[in-house]
């Protein structure tokens, strides 16, 4: 196993590669965004396209990531799970495809889209607007912020 295939010690170590991957398409990104009892690891929004993306990071338990990603389809146009490349090889792509959830494989500083996400069929416009509307407190955030621990309020969109 090469160094880039090793599983990182913390989920937050996956974040820089995932943020870089979405940087061009989603100029506004926030980390640890609360959604009910969950925290969306990365939420991105493009005012040009009016599309949003939610990403759940996991080191090994991709099925748990899928469970959380299914919830995020309520507030985001596209949803991905992001895992280390070694974990991505064990993911059941058909199961993700069934739900329209995309897969990102992270290896070192590289992020590769292994499976594209499909536009959410259960998106609730009110939930999405809570994060993307100009009046939303989540619209004022700094791009590329590190993941914040659960005791904070998370970062906000600008």
- Could you state, in order of their start, the residue ranges of all structural domains in the chain? 3-134
The whole-model pTM stands at: 0.82
* Residue found under tokens 């070694």: 86
pLDDT greater than 70 at residue 2: no
DSSP summary character for residue 25: T
> Do the beta carbons of residue 92 and residue 69 sit within 8 Å?
no
In sign, the C-alpha dihedral spanning 54, 58, 60, 65 is negative
> pLDDT tens digits, residue range 47-63?
899 999 999 999 999 99
> pLDDT tens digits, residue range 68-82?
999 999 999 999 999
Range 3-134 has CATH code 3.40.470: no
Question: If you average pLDDT over residues 11-26, what whole number do you get?
Answer: 92
Residue 3 confidence (pLDDT): 44
**Cα–Cα distances in angstroms (integers) from residue 88 to residues 24, 50, 65, 76, 107, in the given order:** 24, 29, 12, 22, 10
């Amino acid at each position: 196993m090469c160094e880039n295939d090793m599983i990182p010690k913390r989920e937050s170590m996956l974040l820089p590669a995932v943020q870089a991957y979405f940087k061009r398409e989603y100029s506004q990104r926030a980390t640890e965004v609360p959604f009910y009892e969950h925290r969306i690891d990365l939420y991105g929004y493009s005012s040009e396209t009016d599309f949003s993306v939610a990403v759940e990071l996991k080191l090994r338990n991709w099925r748990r990531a899928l469970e959380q990603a299914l919830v995020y389809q309520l507030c985001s146009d596209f949803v991905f799970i992001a895992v280390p490349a070694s974990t991505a090889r064990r993911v059941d792509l058909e199961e993700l495809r069934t739900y329209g959830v995309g897969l990102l494989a992270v290896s070192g500083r590289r992020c590769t889209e292994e499976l594209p996400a499909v536009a959410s069929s259960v998106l609730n416009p009110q939930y999405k607007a809570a994060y993307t509307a100009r009046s939303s407190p989540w619209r004022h955030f700094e791009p590329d912020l590190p993941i914040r621990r659960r005791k904070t309020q998370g970062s906000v969109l600008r």
